[in-house]
């Protein structure tokens, strides 16, 4: 698939988490609103969030913010985007109706604008009997006309094939799957299998964390110190072993007067996946939009593929990913 055929969406997980670690409503809401409108006006056509973004008393806060912003967006613009949320299959959300109340609450927060509901992860590893019940519950919501599309997240090739068949029996399509995918995820046969299943069945492949928590955006002469202890340790471990990859991103970017982020996003698009980039300010929104205006050549893609395969370190895999 040509990367120019694949757009870019943006995720709001960072907004929810930010609220937990010190939030100034008056200043932050204004900035996030401008970021949101810039992204929509620039052509980013997928808004991805989740009911679990924003923990504790701030549970669902990301959805609330998006819902408030959508109220100010003209209907003609809302029709051009896909508002998607992910529902978490927590252990207490049991049975075929286990996600129904969660959907109602998310839909209320998002002001009735949900188009796609995604199962945030499979329960296969800890409650395999729940997996089929929950996906059929989403199928019920679809057949009742309450949602227009169903998606998956963090689901390996075996579970993807199984869940796809479960809904296919009912004449229901799986529209998308979200997986962790970037130049710093480890190349695997499972990932290639997922992409083949998606291509065969016209399932949209969405790549979350396409910039590897921002690591791919950092020039080789920089060594930033993140605010959180865990991210500090991650940067200390990964940055020294990714200099060659980041240098190549920088070199290719110079040709297009583009940032490393744009190159990394276009690499994801060159693999037929739509990157979901976390954006927190208008500059990041505009940078992601600029990535839609050009594409990698075949040679540039292959050079990045090779550099990825030779990289001595990878991002930790999300523990929620099922087989």
Number of domains in the chain: 1
Q: Which long-range contacts (CB under 8 A, 24 or more apart) does 250-253 make?
A: 250/219, 250/220, 252/296, 252/300, 252/303, 252/304
pLDDT score for 5: 60
In a domain? residue 26: yes
Residue 188 sits in which domain range?
Answer: 3-310
pLDDT score for 230: 85
In a domain? residue 56: yes
Q: Which positions are annotated as active-site residues? A: 53
In a domain? residue 174: yes
Q: Global pTM?
A: 0.92
The domain that holds 176 is classified in CATH as 3.20.20.100
Residue spans of the chain under pLDDT 70: 1-5, 13-27, 55-58
Express each pLDDT in 4-60 by its tens digit.
467 888 887 544 443 333 334 445 788 889 999 999 999 999 999 999 987 555 678
């Amino acid at each position: 698939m040509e990367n120019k055929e694949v757009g870019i969406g943006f995720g709001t997980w960072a907004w929810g988490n930010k609220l937990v670690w010190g939030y100034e409503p008056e200043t932050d809401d204004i900035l996030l609103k401008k970021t949101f409108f810039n992204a929509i006006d620039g052509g980013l056509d997928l808004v991805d969030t989740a009911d679990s973004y924003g923990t504790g008393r701030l549970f669902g806060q990301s959805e609330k913010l998006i819902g408030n912003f959508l109220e100010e967006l003209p209907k003609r613009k809302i029709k051009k985007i896909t508002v998607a949320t992910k529902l978490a299959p927590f252990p207490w959300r049991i049975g075929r109706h286990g996600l129904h109340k969660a959907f109602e609450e998310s839909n209320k927060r998002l002001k009735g604008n949900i188009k796609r509901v995604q199962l945030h992860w499979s329960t296969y590893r800890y409650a395999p009997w729940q997996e089929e019940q929950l996906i059929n519950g989403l199928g019920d919501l679809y057949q009742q006309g309450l949602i227009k599309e169903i998606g998956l997240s963090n689901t390996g090739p075996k579970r993807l094939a199984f869940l796809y068949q479960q809904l296919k029996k009912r004449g229901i399509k799986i529209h998308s799957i979200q997986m962790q995918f970037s130049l710093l995820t480890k190349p695997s046969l499972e990932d290639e299998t997922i992409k083949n299943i998606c291509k065969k069945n016209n399932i949209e492949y969405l790549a979350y964390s396409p910039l590897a928590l921002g690591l791919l955006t950092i020039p080789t002469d920089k060594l930033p110190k993140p605010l959180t202890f865990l991210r500090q340790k991650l940067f200390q471990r990964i940055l020294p072993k990714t200099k060659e990859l980041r240098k190549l991103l920088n070199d290719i970017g110079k040709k297009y007067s583009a940032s490393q982020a744009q190159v990394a996003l276009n690499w994801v698009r060159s693999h037929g996946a739509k990157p979901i980039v976390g954006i927190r300010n208008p500059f990041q929104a505009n940078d992601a939009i600029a990535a839609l205006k050009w594409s990698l050549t075949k040679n540039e893609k292959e050079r990045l593929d090779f550099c990825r395969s030779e990289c001595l370190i990878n991002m930790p895999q999300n523990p929620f990913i099922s087989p």
